[in-house]
Amino acid sequence: MPKPKDLIELSYLSEAVSDMSFLGLMRLLESARAFNQANGITGILLYDNQQFGQIIEGDRASVMKAWKRIQEDRRHHRVELLEIREIAERSFPDWLLRFYGGETLTQDYPALTQMVGGMDKHSLALMNRMRASQT
Ligand X SMILES: Cc1cc2nc3c(=O)[nH]c(=O)nc-3n(C[C@H](O)[C@H](O)[C@H](O)COP(=O)(O)O)c2cc1C
Binding residue for ligand X, selected from 28, 44, 55, 126, defined by CB under 6 A: 28
Binding residue for ligand X, selected from 44, 46, 56, 127, defined by CB under 6 A: 56
82-111 binders of ligand X (CB under 6 A):
97
- 76 is a contact residue toward ligand X (CB under 6 A): yes
Tell me the residue length of the chain.
135
Binding residue for ligand X, selected from 66, 115, 116, 127, defined by CB under 6 A: 66
Binding residue for ligand X, selected from 5, 6, 24, 31, defined by CB under 6 A: 31
For helices 22-39 and 60-72, the axis angle rounded to 10 degrees is: 150
Residues 6+ apart with CB under 8 A from 66: 32, 35, 36, 39, 41, 56, 58
Q: What is d(CA 10, CA 3) in angstroms, rounded to the nearest whole number?
A: 21
Q: What is d(CA 101, CA 127) in angstroms, rounded to the nearest whole number?
A: 11
Give the interface with ligand X as residue ranges (CB under 6 A).
Answer: 28, 31-32, 35-36, 45, 52, 54, 56, 66, 69-70, 73, 75-76, 97
